[in-house]
Structure 1
Amino acid sequence: LQTQKPIATLTGHRNPVYSIAFSPDGLTLASASSDKTIKLWIWDFDKLMAFGCNWIRDYLRTNTPDSF
């Protein structure tokens, strides 16, 4: 969020996406587009966890006060 850089690009709709929603378990994303399609995106939870852990490690490495 801080860098405002995308972590993934989902391609599939031909027109702009106007609505998204996650499933209750957080593993599926639904997107609705003006091209009159709905797409379901299945997240690879292991890859997301690896990305998150790497991000946290890098953040702590560069943002930890010297007093720690």
Structure 2
Amino acid sequence: LADVYWGDLDVLLLDLPPGTGDIAISVAQLVPNAEILVVTTPQQAAAEVAERAGSIAVQTHQKIVGVVE
């Protein structure tokens, strides 16, 4: 993200792997004012991962704008 000149953006959409690992935390640090749209599937395991991702977003002061199942 840091090595590219993006210009003036209205939206930058990042499709991250599921979970709350290093990638999600690194993105939270690089884009501190990000707004998060959590996308999940109806399976219980996926819902649990989405919930953890939402918790990380709250802890890193990012705004959750919605959840799509």
Please classify the TM superposition score into its range, dividing by the shorter chain length: 0.3 to 0.5
**TM-score for the superposition, normalised by structure 2:** 0.32
Instruction: Select the structure with the greater relative contact order (CA < 8 A; seq sep ≥ 6).
Output: 2
Per residue, is there more strand in 1 or in 2?
1
